[in-house]
Structure 1
Amino acid sequence: MKRIPRRLIVVGPAAVLAVITAALCYELPKSSSFSAASPLSVLRRGDHGGLGEADGAVPDGATVFDDSVPGVARLDPGLLKALREAATAAADDGITFYVNSGRRSAAYQNRLLREAIAKYGSAAEAARWVATAATSPHVSGDAVDLGHTDATNWLSGHGAAYGLCRIYRNEPWHYELRAHAIDHGCPRMYADPTQDPRMRQ
């Protein structure tokens, strides 16, 4: 009987362990990645409470060109046009603009706010991350949350040329249209939504 070399016996289990570890650590699609602080991560993973794409839930992998996704297609036309122009330019650098959230219904926004209050323990702390349905630019279709840091990094350097500006320092994924930025640059960012006068209406 042929003897099996000792190192093969050791390598075999090690290889099996490596395969199992890789399977357990398989990374979710980057388009669904949110900051740990983002309340959207709670809603995306959990029960949507009957809320679906018609209310603004965006499926993984959706881009700014996906007209079949209401959360994308119902964005303000000016914002969507600017996003698509910027995305076309960014594609030359191998970057895709994935949409994590776009236009939302009031019901969807209210659900996000309830989730944020439960997560952060108070309405005051939740307000740093989620606006009310009455004040959220997502409900009016005037804001988009983008996935992948390569896209947001690209926009931080090139977004003003398209009128696309990051509004809050604590939300690197949140962009809105500021047409004057094309000539004058983006305005100074607010620390978080509680500093934005629009949120105090």
Structure 2
Amino acid sequence: MTVFDDAIPAVTKLDPSLLKGLRQAAADALDDGVEFYVNSGWRPPEYQNQLLRKAVAEYGSEAEAARWVATAKTSPHVSGEAVDIGKSDATAWLSEHGAEYGLCQIYKNEPWHYELRTNAIEGGCPHMYADPTQDPRMHE
């Protein structure tokens, strides 16, 4: 799916400001021959919990799983405030140009995960966390 798919809840249930920034960036990226694909956007809490259970099984502990998957209570995907962009050319384009749209990579270990940081338009993206376990929002 792309950021322009209006029939897909993972796209349409994103925060309106995030979606607007994504669509502006995606339109400009097309001029460079780069298309944004949404690997994951908004997620219902039940699905987030399922992802977390799978991660615990895969990584062997809740602590290790937390480096990759948040709880439904803390996940910015559940609130529609995060999007995972697919294809390396799109993430490379966002890495270079995303701040112009307020779109920032948040975690060093997740080059596909972007959130809206409107202050980035003027001052650049904030320092990245190593992984979600370093993000104070994940400890609420």
Pairwise same-fold verdict (TM > 0.5): yes
Which residue of the other structure, out of 49, 73, 89, is the alignment partner of 1:134? Answer: 73
* SS at structure 2 position matched to 1:175: strand
* SS at structure 1 position matched to 2:68: coil
Q: 1-side partners of 2:8 and 2:33: how far apart?
A: 23
* SS at structure 2 position matched to 1:99: strand
The one-character-per-residue Cα deviations of 1:23-55 (angstroms, maximum 9, x if unpaired) are xxxxxxxxxxxxxxxxxxxxxxxxxxxxxxxxx
TM-score (norm 1): 0.69
Which residue of the other structure, out of 44, 48, 51, is the alignment partner of 1:109? Answer: 48
Which residue of the other structure, out of 113, 128, 137, is the alignment partner of 1:189? Answer: 128
* SS at structure 2 position matched to 1:136: coil
Q: 1-side partners of 2:81 and 2:35: how far apart?
A: 20
* 1:162 paired to 2:90: no
CA radius of gyration, larger in: 1
The two structures, once aligned, show a CA RMSD in angstroms of 0.3
* 1:144 paired to 2:87: no
Which residue of the other structure, out of 90, 96, 105, is the alignment partner of 2:35? Answer: 96
TM-superposed deviation, 1:175: 0.1
Amino acid at match of 2:71: T
* 1:200 paired to 2:139: yes
Structure 2 residue runs of 5 or longer lacking an equivalent are none
Structure 1 residue runs of 5 or longer lacking an equivalent are 1-61
Matches within 5 A, 1:7-156: 62-156=1-95
User: Higher relative contact order at CA 8 Å, sep ≥6: structure 1 or structure 2?
Assistant: 2
TM-superposed deviation, 1:182: 0.1
* SS at structure 1 position matched to 2:73: coil
TM-superposed deviation, 1:99: 0.3
Amino acid at match of 2:93: W
Which residue of the other structure, out of 99, 119, 138, is the alignment partner of 1:180? Answer: 119
* SS at structure 1 position matched to 2:83: strand
TM-superposed deviation, 1:148: 0.1
Number of the residue aligned with 1:18: none
- Fraction of identical pairs, as percent: 71
TM-superposed deviation, 1:164: 0.1
Q: 2-side partners of 1:187 and 1:96: how far apart?
A: 25
* SS at structure 2 position matched to 1:66: coil
Number of the residue aligned with 1:36: none
Q: 1-side partners of 2:9 and 2:42: how far apart?
A: 8
TM-superposed deviation, 1:66: 0.2
